[in-house]
Amino acid sequence: MSRFALNWLDLRKDADDRARHGSLARAAASGAELHGPPLIVDLGTGAGANVAVLKTYLTSHADWRLVDDDAALLSVAAERCGASGIECCLFDLARGGALPVNGARLVTASALLDLVSEAWIERLVQDVTTSGADFYAALTADGSVEWSPVHPTDEDVLRAFNIHHRGDKGFGRALGGGATSYARRCFEAAGYHVRVEASPWQLGPGDERLIRALVDGMASAVSETGMVDPGMLTKWRDFRFGRADMCTCRIGHHDLFAMPIS
């Protein structure tokens, strides 16, 4: 496990929890419990933040299958979420073949869909709908970032960052900000009812560490594109770093819940 990966997951947790759309999470949990204790499969579990949140909406016991390609992160997730009813599934989501969603009443994911391709979404929808499960995806980025105060290079940086975001993250060309709308179309075409709600990060004073990490990550990604002059990019990064304790930032995300039409 990369220590950076765990640090990043822990750093973003509070922002994720504030942003998540509560009514969709509640609907996902309620639907899973309709027919007795469910099996819930969480794809790309990481450190287990998605599981921890959903457990607060459940009123009874559920079994969980945690799916990730990082054994150390799965161990952290299982420890944090409680060992009872937890199955850890070491699985690379980018590999071919069926996803391990067999027997699931609910399939979930968080901060995943914007990293995958159209073909991967189509595979996901086929596997979920074949199992008859509901599907809940939280915190899918929509490609929007709004800063205050503004900087003249904000738009250029965002444009380059979104192009980088749509590069291949191991799943084929990533959908980036178009992921939620594509997933919605695929689930609706498969006969599912789909709800989508905005779940933006709203960052401000108190989020300085996360803001600086975001700025670093964006600057690094943008530098790889060559689309922004290096001197301008450095000035942008220095401006954002120097105002991390006084700026605000809205980063767009959407949550999605899909269920079979009765």
pLDDT of residue 37: 81
**What is the pTM assigned to this prediction?**
0.95
Instruction: Kindly state whether residue 149 falls inside one of the protein's structural domains.
Output: no
Instruction: Kindly state whether residue 217 falls inside one of the protein's structural domains.
Output: no
Q: For residues 213 and 11, is the Cβ–Cβ distance under 8 A?
A: yes
Instruction: Kindly state whether residue 240 falls inside one of the protein's structural domains.
Output: no
Instruction: Kindly state whether residue 52 falls inside one of the protein's structural domains.
Output: yes
* Alpha helix (H) residue ranges in the chain: 3-19, 22-32, 49-57, 71-81, 118-131, 154-165, 179-189, 208-225, 230-242
Instruction: Kindly state whether residue 53 falls inside one of the protein's structural domains.
Output: yes
Residue 1 has pLDDT above 50, yes or no: no
| Mean pLDDT score across all residues of the chain | 94
The domain that holds 24 is classified in CATH as 3.40.50.150
pLDDT in tens, 132-178: 999 999 999 999 999 999 999 999 999 999 999 999 999 999 999 99
Instruction: Kindly state whether residue 132 falls inside one of the protein's structural domains.
Output: yes
Instruction: Kindly state whether residue 219 falls inside one of the protein's structural domains.
Output: no
pLDDT of residue 83: 64
Range of the domain at 103: 3-142+173-202+251-260
Instruction: Kindly state whether residue 157 falls inside one of the protein's structural domains.
Output: no
Q: How many domains does the chain have?
A: 1
